[in-house]
Amino acid sequence: EDAEKGSYDHYMLKEIHEQPVALRQTLHGRIDGDDVALEEFPPGSFDDVDRVQFVACGTSYHAALYGEWLLSKDGVDATTYIASEYAASPAPVDEDTLVVGVTQSGETADTLEALESARERGARTLALTNVIGSTAARTCDDALFIRAGPEIGVAATKTFSSQVATLVLLAERLVRDITGSPTSDHADRLDALASLPEHVESITTDSRAADISQRCLGDNGHFFIGRGNAFPVALEGALKFKEITYGHAEGFAAGELKHGPLALVTPETPVIAIGTGHDEARLKSNVTESRTRGAPVIAIAPRTASDLADVAEEFLPVPATHPDLVAILANVQLQLIAYHAANAMERSIDKPRNLAKSVTVE
Ligand code: AGP
């Protein structure tokens, strides 16, 4: 086991650092100029689809929310469901509904049950998974593989990045087939997607997250906030943090702060704000509201496109890229914060208490 970890103390850190390689595998051969080239799904594959439902759990649910955001902004009717809720109380489907199960392992019982319910009621199902031969890949009508390579750490890291990158590719095909037009800004966004591995690499090779994580060792709560595509990443940052540090953490849509959670914000509750460098005035005022209550605020955003550094106490930059993709980069900083905080607390990082890599019971 130690040999497979190489020079890393934990699989989680190794897998965080593997993300540039994983993303290169995910994207290999799948971008063709200003269009995508998905061997499994040539143009027209989704001509009959008129709405998309995602079903997923945990980190995969957050990736699915990112996918929903990508589709909705370009006019596709898309909704994300927590798989266990969907299994118990399924949303209406018909033969024009595409139900996408986002599942790294392809074996999560709740997700499989939700997919089965959709299939039985006549929907078309698609498994977006890392594991060829998994139950989801075998039982769905179609499969799209994220090609991230094996992930050992219970905390999902590289598979989240590869899931979202795959969803950017899938969104391009779905939007073109369903609406008849490419996504807005498709050429720039696909260019930026091709550069994602090197952008992630610049974070994994040079991040101040280890220092900054030392601000997050108290036990009064940690709040992660973001808007737009940074909202699912705020949820993911909080999940990763609680899963491996055992510290209380919650993710919010930044606009929800003043509808309740702000009552919890004190000098003892770090607030981690995720900016995309786009339309940030309201996030900036959320940061100011938190600072006014004495909270230490750590902002993560592209330095050149964002002025959150002016209002936050600490700032972790990510490379400037297309605003639709920034949150994928911010998530890498969040993974590093969670890892280094958990390491400082000497937690069982690769096998957190009470958790399993793949949850095969409902
Ligand atoms: C995240 O770090 C967890 N390991 C967990 O939330 C996980 O994403 C969830 O159990 C879903 O797993 P899947 O992607 O294999 O379906």
pLDDT digits (tens, 9 = 90+) for 41-60: 999 999 999 999 999 999 99
Burial code of 91-108, b = ≥16 C-beta within 10 A, e = fewer? bebeeebbbbbbbbbbbb
Q: How far, in Å, CA of 327 to CA of 70, rounded?
A: 12
Residue to probe by mutation, ligand 1, list 359, 360, 362, most atoms within 8 Å of CB: 359
Q: Given this model, what pLDDT does residue 354 score?
A: 87
Contacts (Cβ under 8 Å, ≥6 apart) of 126 = 98, 99, 100, 101, 140, 141, 142, 143, 144
Contact 349, 244 (CB under 8 A): yes
pLDDT at 109 over 60: yes
pTM for the predicted model, two decimal places: 0.97
Q: Kindly give the distance from the C-alpha atom of residue 88 to the centroid of ligand 1, in angstroms, as a whole number.
A: 19
The mean pLDDT value for 182-186 works out to 94
- Catalytic status, residue 5: no
pLDDT tens figures, 190-201: 999 999 999 999
286 Cβ below 6 A of ligand 1: no
Contact 309, 316 (CB under 8 A): no
Q: Kindly give the distance from the C-alpha atom of residue 48 to the centroid of ligand 1, in angstroms, as a whole number.
A: 30
358 Cβ below 6 A of ligand 1: yes
* Atom of ligand 1 lying closest to residue 240 CA: 2
235 Cβ below 6 A of ligand 1: no
Reported as a pLDDT band with limits 50, 70 and 90, residue 3 is low
Mean pLDDT of all residues belonging to the chain: 95
Q: Given this model, what pLDDT does residue 2 score?
A: 56
pLDDT tens figures, 13-23: 999 999 999 99
Q: Given this model, what pLDDT does residue 131 score?
A: 97
Contact 307, 275 (CB under 8 A): no
Q: Given this model, what pLDDT does residue 4 score?
A: 85
82 Cβ below 6 A of ligand 1: no
Helix (H) or strand (E) holding 31: strand 31-32
Q: Kindly give the pairing relationship between strand 142-145 and strand 124-129.
A: parallel
* Atom of ligand 1 lying closest to residue 58 CA: 6
Size of the chain, expressed as the number of residues it contains:
362
Tokens of 68: 């929903």
135 Cβ below 6 A of ligand 1: no
pLDDT tens figures, 316-336: 999 999 999 999 999 999 999
pLDDT at 179 over 60: yes
Alpha carbon nearest to ligand 1 atom 10, residue:
58
Q: How far, in Å, CA of 163 to CA of 150, rounded?
A: 13
Query: How far, rounded to the nearest angstrom, does the alpha carbon of residue 133 sit from its chain's CA centroid?
Result: 24
